[in-house]
Amino acid sequence: MPAVSKIAPLSGFPEYLPADRIVEQHFLDTIREVFELHGFSSIETRSVEPVERLSAQGEDTDKEIYTLARLADTAATSPGENRSREPRLGLHFDLTVPLARYVLEHAGHLNFPFRRYQIQKVWRGERPQEGRYREFTQADVDVIDAGTLSAHFEAEMPIVVADAFVRLPMPDFVIGVNNRKIAEGFYRGLGLTDITGTLRVVDKLDKIGPDAVVQLLTETGASVSQADACLNLARIRTVDESFVDRVWALGVEHPMLEEGLAALAAVVRTVSAVAPGTIVADLKIARGLDYYTGTVYETTLLGYEKWGSFCSGGRYDSLASDGKTTYPGVGISIGVSRLVGLLIGEGLVRASRSTPACVLVARVSESEADRARSLAVATQLRRRGIACEMAPSASKFGKQIRYADRRGIPFVWFPAPGESDAAPNAHDDVRGQAENGGAAAGPQASDEVKDIRSGEQVPADATTWTPPDADLHPRVIPMPA
Amino acid sequence: MPAVSKIAPLSGFPEYLPADRIVEQHFLDTIREVFELHGFSSIETRSVEPVERLSAQGEDTDKEIYTLARLADTAATSPGENRSREPRLGLHFDLTVPLARYVLEHAGHLNFPFRRYQIQKVWRGERPQEGRYREFTQADVDVIDAGTLSAHFEAEMPIVVADAFVRLPMPDFVIGVNNRKIAEGFYRGLGLTDITGTLRVVDKLDKIGPDAVVQLLTETGASVSQADACLNLARIRTVDESFVDRVWALGVEHPMLEEGLAALAAVVRTVSAVAPGTIVADLKIARGLDYYTGTVYETTLLGYEKWGSFCSGGRYDSLASDGKTTYPGVGISIGVSRLVGLLIGEGLVRASRSTPACVLVARVSESEADRARSLAVATQLRRRGIACEMAPSASKFGKQIRYADRRGIPFVWFPAPGESDAAPNAHDDVRGQAENGGAAAGPQASDEVKDIRSGEQVPADATTWTPPDADLHPRVIPMPA
């Protein structure tokens, strides 16, 4: 392949070295395992949707969409010109728009309520200088029903996420929940009419502070006492159902408020029963202003609140509609790339080694017979589920051990030299042992395996030897902050 | 979300329903597991590369590249205009170009020989009407070294692939191997000089037949006897090393031919020793005319040869170079999407159910206490690694059982109704049992679990009950052709 221009990383397109990729895989595997334990089916949607469908979510998303063109076409024609009958295509920027389309396209072949998970890359055409990811992986679970969706599904989302996060090597987390009906009912009970405008202002509380929120609310027509009440609602945050009494103590009444409080209390009760200490009712959470209609979720790491939410979602009454049937749903999305990227970047997690291999099978000599012996050992170990690789060459054993050490491979296997072979490295063995603190001396009569961390070397049989459980696969380890 | 235009599938962008996705996941999981058993480290590269790098492989690939543009930019400017300092980006069309760039970019942080696997989507901007995939998943393994790469790695690729394919529910396969040096040395020994041109013609043998090959070769300057010799070489196909004698019997000699025959014989011997019956020396295999320099691979399914190769690759002496160091490699790529797509399309494989859930936990009533009891059972089963979901509502048990049946969930769990609860469905239970052939009658005193296939229903405890191994996860089953 001819060399082209200088290699330079592209900002916003993260890529890992093998050891960090093992960390990422561990997060993805754990999340998938938990999604499946909770009975969600996997789907994968194509990476592209018609641009028209992607941009139907509102003007704000337009600038984030990457559109596709065939190189041959862009060279020959202007961008507006579309030579095929196909709609113009763009890369999806989330997994919700594709889910809506998938549900409509395949509704006749799906069982409702449809419990699906989806772990895929998404793309956003952010300006490179903004330092945001332009390609990243999300892990979503949603329950979609046809017609109506029972409210009890709204408690499932925090339960699934808590079950995943407690298994992961990461700081403690808290899942904040709110219900869109609480703010809306409260504002209506107060006599306010611009619900979305009020929510939008209150949503800025953490950024601009309480005084600015009151100021902005009064500018949009609220009285000072109404603005104060909105602020007081937003400040309620409790780990149990006590938020209900605190809201009533504010003296505002509305049927929608009552409905929202009862719904949120049920979510808090249900989640606390199976995942105590993971949930908090936080009445300032807004999210998805014109999208969510019930419970909403946000998840932060304790001590790392400045990183924002890693896992958000909510209930929506109309994911999609084909004119006859409306599909409501509730879902939550884990921002896997951001989570893993920050944990790795801050040194809060690492993998115990950079390769899946647990064993390096040494080469005794470059003879075809000795190579075959090493391969036979490797084949036997692999059949028994023990990952291994063979040393690339029959260098001195000390060098082969260093090869394993550099990759973090904990064990080196020394096949016994064949009877009829010259076994030129048998003497190197002794030197290798001495150099590396091994106990054995002299040419070996049977296969031996060395734990290169302790230096202990023992006779071993590839049909029976088993590494300690902790060494079988790379471990992913939380690091002290 | 507002409804947009009619939903229509996009040709070339395959998408599966949940049951078929389970088949695809099983293939991907098995391939990954085997790659890791063989000591390959996972990497994922970004989906995009500079167009300049993608198109450096030759003009033929240009038309297959999808380029990206931000929607906001394409609306405002002409395509040639690039408003950022960044190179124009395109989606990768294979995993080799990104690997080459990754190796050059990260060489200082990689251990060589670098054993990597990569399972990712790739995109090709084929015309929709051609019916080819435009988005598909490849699973690649490669060994890359810095400077020189030992020949013995060339035997590893068929061993890895055979180890994966024998574990998969698919028809028998055969991995065809050749060595580029054999044809080149043979042609040179014959006195031919246009090696690539000759290869290109011989490569068409299966398509155009022997007479047309001879015809074309003579048109490009070969004598009839030279053309016949080329044809005779291409027709040699043996399951063991006997191809060596058959080549010598053609009476052509050249040092490069000798080298190629010895190398290919070593590959056949090594692979046959650990994966007997999976490899065949097939001297007509050409592949990657100006790319591969040693062993080349192609894999076909017995009885489905017309589908072509699902797994191909070879040795290349220069994957990449930074001017100082050259990186040779050897690799093989499994076309997972094509393989899975054809097996599913032909009805040769299916999943035993459409959900990971092994158990449906029934709801006894809609009371919060009974819902909590169902959730407690589900939580307990999940902690013990048993995937389950809860029935969406406390409908009649017969209906809940049908819910499980439609999804292929083998077990339905009936929590004992709470002492203080009305348990309004306890009577439905009897009807449900009767309808579904169950043995139990009357309200139950403890939890019970029903195998809905046999109708057998037994008392069970969520802290100890375990399903048969075969039911724990969905199985992926080969179907008779």
* A344 vs B: CB within 8 A: no
Residue A392 touches partner B, C-beta closer than 8 Å? yes
Distance of residue B42 Cα from the nearest chain A Cα, in angstroms: 6
Q: CA–CA separation, B149 vs B141, rounded Å?
A: 15
What pLDDT, on the 0 to 100 scale, is given for residue A384? 98
pLDDT at B422: 45
**A114-123 vs A41-42, strand pairing mode:** parallel
- Joined together, the tokens standing for residue A74 give 């862009």
Question: B-chain residues within 8 Å CB-CB of A413?
Answer: none
Asked if pLDDT for residue A2 goes beyond 50, the answer is no
B386 neighbourhood in chain A, CB within 8 Å:
37
Task: List CB contacts of B362: < 8 A, sequence separation 6 or more.
Answer: B374, B391, B394, B397, B400, B412, B413, B414, B415
> How many whole angstroms separate alpha carbon A372 and alpha carbon A370?
5
Task: Report pLDDT for B84.
Answer: 60
CA distances from A475 to A31, A350, B29, B231 (A): 16, 8, 19, 54
Nearest to B74 among A79, A321, A354 (CB): A79
pLDDT > 70: percent of chain A:
89
B37, B268, B358: best to mutate for the A interface, most A CBs within 10 A: B37
Mean pLDDT value across residues B41-47: 98
Strand partners, A69: B67
How far apart are alpha carbons A330 and A316 in whole angstroms?
Answer: 6
Asked whether the beta carbons of A250 and A234 are under 8 A apart, the reply is no
Residue B83 has a pLDDT of: 55
Contact at CB, A125 and B72, closer than 8 angstroms: yes
pLDDT tier at B434, thresholds 50, 70, 90? very low
B283 residue type, one letter: L
Q: What is the CATH number of domain A359-478?
A: 3.40.50.800
Q: What is the mean pLDDT of chain B?
A: 90
Interface of B with A in 56-75 (CB under 8 A): 56-57, 62-72, 74
**Which of B39, B7, B12, B265 is CA-nearest to residue B154?**
B265
Question: What does the pLDDT read at residue A423?
Answer: 45
What average pLDDT does this structure show over A161-180? Answer: 97
Write down the pLDDT at residue B80.
47
**What residues in A contact B87, CB-CB < 8 Å?**
5
- How confident is the model at residue B411, as a pLDDT? 98
Q: Would the CB atoms of B105 and A43 count as touching at under 8 Å? A: no
A135-144 and A326-335: which strand pairing?
antiparallel
Q: What is the pLDDT of residues A114-157, one digit of tens each?
A: 999 999 999 999 877 666 899 999 999 999 999 999 999 999 99
Helix axes B195-202, B224-234, angle to 10 degrees: 60
| CA distances from residue B135 to A28, A30, A83, B313, B338 in whole angstroms, order as listed | 22, 26, 20, 20, 10
Q: Taking the CB of residue B136, how many other CB atoms lie within 10 A of it?
A: 19
What average pLDDT does this structure show over A426-431? 43
Mean pLDDT of A157-183: 97
- The candidate with the shortest Cα–Cα distance to B360, out of B289, B428, B412, B399, is B412
8 A C-beta contact, residue B100 and residue B320? yes
pLDDT band at B121 (very low <50, low <70, confident <90, very high): very high
Torsion (CA) A100, A102, A108, A112 in degrees, nearest 10? -60
Are B10-47+92-170+303-351 and B172-302 in the same CATH fold? yes
Say what the pTM is. Answer: 0.93
pLDDT digits (tens, 9 = 90+) for A191-211: 999 998 999 999 899 889 999
Per domain, the residue ranges of chain B are 10-47+92-170+303-351, 172-302, 359-478
**Under an 8 A CB cutoff, do B9 and A105 touch?**
yes
A29-83 pLDDT, tens digit per residue, is 999 999 999 999 999 999 999 999 998 865 555 668 999 998 887 665 555 444 5
Per-residue confidence (pLDDT) for residue B259, from 0 to 100: 97
Cα separation of A168 and A27, whole Å? 7
SS (H, E, C) chain A: CCCCCCCCCCCCCCCCCHHHHHHHHHHHHHHHHHHHHCCCEECCCCCEEEHHHHHHHCHHHHCCCEEEEEHHHHHHCCCCCCCCCCCCEEECCCCHHHHHHHHHHHHHHCCCCEEEEEEEEEECCCCHHHCCCCEEEEEEEEEECCCCCCHHHHHHHHHHHHHHHHHCCCCCEEEEEEEHHHHHHHHHHHCCCCHHHHHHHHCCHHHHCHHHHHHHHHHCCCCHHHHHHHHHHHCCEECCCCHHHHHHCCCCCCHHHHHHHHHHHHHHHHHHHHCCCCEEEECCCCCCCCCCCCEEEEEEECCCHHHCCCEEEEEEEEEEECCCCEEEEEEEEEEHHHHHHHHHHCCCEEECCCCCCCEEECCCCCCHHHHHHHHHHHHHHHHCCCCEEECCCCCCHHHHHHHHHHHCCCEEEECCCCCCCCCCCHHHHHHHHHHHCCCCCCCCCCCEEEECCCCCEEECCCCCCCCCHHHHCCCEEECCC
- Is 60 exceeded by the pLDDT of residue B425? no
> At residue A434, does pLDDT exceed 60?
no
Q: How far is A380 from chain B (nearest CA, A)?
A: 10
**pLDDT value of position B60:** 59
Q: Which of B14, B67, B389 sits opposite A71 (nearest CB)?
A: B67
B344 interface with A at CB cutoff 8 Å? no
Residue A93 pLDDT: 95
Residue pLDDT, tens place only, B297-354: 999 999 999 889 999 999 999 888 998 999 999 999 999 999 999 999 999 999 999 9
Query: Number of residue pairs across A and B with CB atoms under 8 Å?
Result: 293
Among the CATH numbers 3.40.50.2020, 3.60.20.40, 3.30.70.1560, 3.30.930.10, which is that of B10-47+92-170+303-351? 3.30.930.10
Q: In what side-by-side order are the strands of the sheet with A173-179?
A: A41-42, A114-123, A135-144, A326-335, A311-321, A295-301, A173-179, A279-282, A237-238
The CATH topology of domain B172-302 is BirA Bifunctional Protein; domain 2 (3.30.930)
Identify the pLDDT of residue B158. 98
Average pLDDT, chain A: 90
pLDDT digits (tens, 9 = 90+) for B354-410: 999 999 999 999 999 999 999 999 999 999 999 999 999 999 999 999 999 999 999
Tens digit of pLDDT for each residue in A248-302?
Answer: 999 999 999 999 999 999 999 999 999 999 999 999 998 866 789 999 999 999 9
- Residue B341 — φ and ψ, nearest 5°? -60, -45
* Residue A11 vs residues A6, A21, A125: alpha-carbon distances, Å: 15, 18, 12
Q: Which amino acid is at A194?
A: D
Q: Are B417 and B386 in contact (CB under 8 A)?
A: no
Structure tokens at A333: 């999305």
